[in-house]
Amino acid sequence: MGGTVSVGLAPRCALAMRAMGCQPLRWLVALCLAFGAASACADDVRRVLVIYSNGRLVGGNVDVELGLSRALASSSKGLVQVYSEFLESEFAESSYEETVTTYLKAKYSRQRPDVIVVVARPSLAYMLRHKRELFPEAPVVHAAVFKSYLVSVPAIPSDVVGIPLEYDPTGTIEQALRWHPSAKHLVMIVGSTARDREWEQILKGITPGFESRAKVEYLSGVPTAAILARVAELGRDSIVFTPGFYQSGDTLRSTPRDSVQAIARASGAPVYGFLSTFIGTGVVGGRSPDFVDMGTQAGKTVQRLLNGEPAATLALAPAMPNRLRVDWRQARRWGIADGQIPADAIVQFKEPTFWEAYRNIALAIACVFLLQAALIGALLLERRRRRNAELAVQAQRSQLAHASRLAIAGELTASIAHEINQPLGAILASADAAELILESGGDRRDDLTRIVSRIRRDDLRASDVIRRLRSLLAKHEPEHQLFDLGLMINDAVKLLEAESHRRETTLEVRPLPGGTMVVGDLVQLQQVLINLILNAMDAVADMAPDRRMVVIQAAIDGSSVSVLVRDRGHGIAADDLPKIFESFFSTKHKGMGLGLSIARTIVEAHGGRIQAENGAVNGAVFRVDLPAAATRSASMAAAQ
């Protein structure tokens, strides 16, 4: 690759980089040296040493560390290395502090911290005592230190800065009394270590203000068991207030948080404590600065110092703000309504409403339901559409069948008119005869009786014709009914009797065993039969009288019933035979070619079959096969 001189500038630079080795940091250092910024770039890592007053897991420490690390992580300048030390100032032996100092001195002799952060008063006090010895050059940022302490220290060096704390026990107790207006008893619990005693001092300074409203009781330095026993006795008319303790009247060591938790668990009265870390242990709440905020503030101050601002000129807030914190579950427990909690309070452990907790799931489920509903809706719609279409087809079919029946009736007009006029004429003549007999005045009762009964008979005859005709012509919905095939055939033949006379054609019915039942639409099946018979009569119309004959024959064969219509005409031409049931196929001059196609539609809708063939000797045979209503035919026959 070196041989390609013409490669250009960029590869050459990359080559130079490679020559410097793969450590950009070192390369940076070199750069810094070259520009003479020795102090800033002498060490590329900025070190912050955080000294906590007590143990690693004290809640306050955890929160401060969180806030601090967040603030430092957002640093724009290089890498910041944070070291933590825990003084555990409870170890009060005189040699301990010396040991710690020696340890720190030795530990940080090479990696000198750029900024020291002290968390809580003991570590600040320690640092004030040993700063000169340990880290004279590093500015100190304090956090979680009470203002009261700061003012008590005679001379705080100008490179020791921070935002002091001011706990607000008064505000907390005031809030508690507002929430429990009926409380008559205020129980203050403090421990027995030196630090705990300081709380006692502070509290005793403020409690006189409340004595007018509630009886104040102090449990100070009482053994833990006694404390728990006492709080267990308390009722809802009491309020417990405690800053927590490290130790109280016995050898048990605790953290303020743990002690508060124990008290809150045992107490029959609401417990208030102001440290933000107490929330969740069972206290209702309290006004306090937030430890995370403290860490954050300290971190920001550290940033400013690392950025080169001199400690003396930093303008910092006079104190950390106090905020009311409430454990929502406890507020519930003690009957504090949401409306009573000030709007600026930090409410923790608020049980999310269903919507808050399961918003996404709920939305997802709702979506699924909606989709499902939409799908179901669409399917239902589709089904309905299909059903409507089916109904429309069915309606059309039934209309067509009806039209075809009307056509049949049209064909039968002459014979039907004759058939109806015959009895009507008879009735009129009978009535006229009766009238004349009555006018003649003779006593001819017998004649009159005979005439009247004849009138009735003729009337019934006429109405029978009309009934048969009407059932054929009625526009009706297709229905499924059980009916006697034999009766249906007889009815059809009766309807055609006059027509057969007119055409001088013999109709011969070979009877069927009674009670042969069929399920279906009587009118439509009768229509099929009438159609076949009329076709047969057409087929023999121009035959010699002895061949003008149509035979209707029915037979039952197991589960199926067959009806045969046989004529003695010329038969069907072989070419026509396959097409005979097709629509608009007709061999007649005036035929529409719909009768047989409709007949087939009807028969197939009944689960049956229709076929045509030529007779053995002459003529054609039409055969309709229908499923017999076998199960009921026997019982019906028996019933008849």
Partner 1 sequence: MTPAALIHVIDDDASFRESLCDLLKAAGFDVRSYASTGEFLLDATPDRPGCVLLDMRLPGPSGLDLQAALLRQERTIPIIFLTGHADVASGIRAMKAGAVDFLEKPVDRATLIDAIDRAVERDESQRQSRAVRRRQHERLAVLTAREREVFDLIVSGRLNKQIADDLSISLRTVKAYRAHLMEKLGVATAAELGRLAGEQGRAAD
Residue 421 in contact with partner 1, rule: CB under 8 A: yes
* Closest CB 590 distance from partner 1, rounded Å: 17
Q: Which is nearer to partner 1, 99 or 421 (CB)?
A: 421
Stretch that binds partner 1, among 166-174, 189-197, 227-235, 450-458 (CB under 8 A): 450-458
Residue 315 in contact with partner 1, rule: CB under 8 A: no
Residue 447 in contact with partner 1, rule: CB under 8 A: yes
Residue 508 in contact with partner 1, rule: CB under 8 A: no
Task: List CB contacts of 345: < 8 A, sequence separation 6 or more.
Answer: 285, 323, 324, 325, 326
User: How far apart (Å, rounded) are the C-alpha atoms in residues 180 and 183?
Assistant: 6
Stretch that binds partner 1, among 19-27, 93-101, 130-138, 425-433 (CB under 8 A): 425-433
Ramachandran area for residue 139 (φ above 0: left; ψ -120 to 50: alpha; else beta): beta
Residue 432 in contact with partner 1, rule: CB under 8 A: yes
- The tokens describing 488, both together, are 């249906």
Residue 550 in contact with partner 1, rule: CB under 8 A: no
* Closest CB 470 distance from partner 1, rounded Å: 19
* Closest CB 430 distance from partner 1, rounded Å: 4
Task: List CB contacts of 363: < 8 A, sequence separation 6 or more.
Answer: none
Going residue by residue from 360 to 399, which x/- string records binding to partner 1, judged by CB under 8 A?
----------------------------------------
Residues in binding contact with partner 1, number by CB under 8 A: 31
Residue 424 in contact with partner 1, rule: CB under 8 A: yes
- The tokens describing 180, both together, are 């429990």
User: How far apart (Å, rounded) are the C-alpha atoms in residues 61 and 143?
Assistant: 10
Q: CB atoms < 10 A from the CB of 470, how many?
A: 10
- Please report where in the chains the tokens 């018979």 appear, as a residue: 533
CB 567 within 8 A of CB 549: yes
Stretch that binds partner 1, among 108-116, 231-239, 427-435, 536-544 (CB under 8 A): 427-435
Residue 457 in contact with partner 1, rule: CB under 8 A: yes
Q: Which is nearer to partner 1, 68 or 427 (CB)?
A: 427
Residue 461 in contact with partner 1, rule: CB under 8 A: yes
Stretch that binds partner 1, among 253-261, 350-358, 410-418, 515-523 (CB under 8 A): 410-418
Longest dimension (CA), the chain: 163
Q: Which is nearer to partner 1, 292 or 549 (CB)?
A: 549
Residue from 159, 290, 327, 458 binding partner 1 (CB under 8 A) = 458
Stretch that binds partner 1, among 83-91, 257-265, 314-322, 424-432 (CB under 8 A): 424-432
* Closest CB 449 distance from partner 1, rounded Å: 12
Q: Which residues of 220-254 are buried (b: 16+ CB within 10 A; e: fewer)?
A: bbbebeebbebbeebeeebbbbbbbbbbbbeeeeb
Q: What pairing do the DSSP bridges indicate for beta strands 560-567 and 620-627?
A: antiparallel
* Closest CB 559 distance from partner 1, rounded Å: 41
CA dihedral 631, 633, 638, 640 (to 10 degrees): 150
Residue 496 in contact with partner 1, rule: CB under 8 A: no
Residue from 84, 348, 422, 611 binding partner 1 (CB under 8 A) = 422
CB 269 within 8 A of CB 236: yes
* Closest CB 496 distance from partner 1, rounded Å: 15
Stretch that binds partner 1, among 400-408, 430-438, 467-475, 561-569 (CB under 8 A): 430-438
Q: Which is nearer to partner 1, 437 or 555 (CB)?
A: 437
- Please report where in the chains the tokens 């303790």 appear, as a residue: 245
User: How far apart (Å, rounded) are the C-alpha atoms in residues 96 and 545?
Assistant: 144
Task: List CB contacts of 530: < 8 A, sequence separation 6 or more.
Answer: 408, 472, 492, 495, 496
Three-state DSSP class for residue 383: helix
- Please report where in the chains the tokens 């960029």 appear, as a residue: 10
Residue from 156, 429, 466, 577 binding partner 1 (CB under 8 A) = 429
Q: Which is nearer to partner 1, 290 or 458 (CB)?
A: 458
Residue 433 in contact with partner 1, rule: CB under 8 A: yes
User: How far apart (Å, rounded) are the C-alpha atoms in residues 101 and 132?
Assistant: 11
Residue 417 in contact with partner 1, rule: CB under 8 A: yes
Stretch that binds partner 1, among 291-299, 453-461, 488-496, 569-577 (CB under 8 A): 453-461
Identify the bridge partners of residue 563 per DSSP, sorted by sequence position.
554, 624
Residue from 206, 228, 426, 509 binding partner 1 (CB under 8 A) = 426
CA dihedral 54, 58, 60, 66 (to 10 degrees): 100
Residues in contact with partner 1 by CB under 8 A are 413-415, 417-430, 432-434, 436-437, 440, 447, 451, 454, 457-458, 461, 501-502
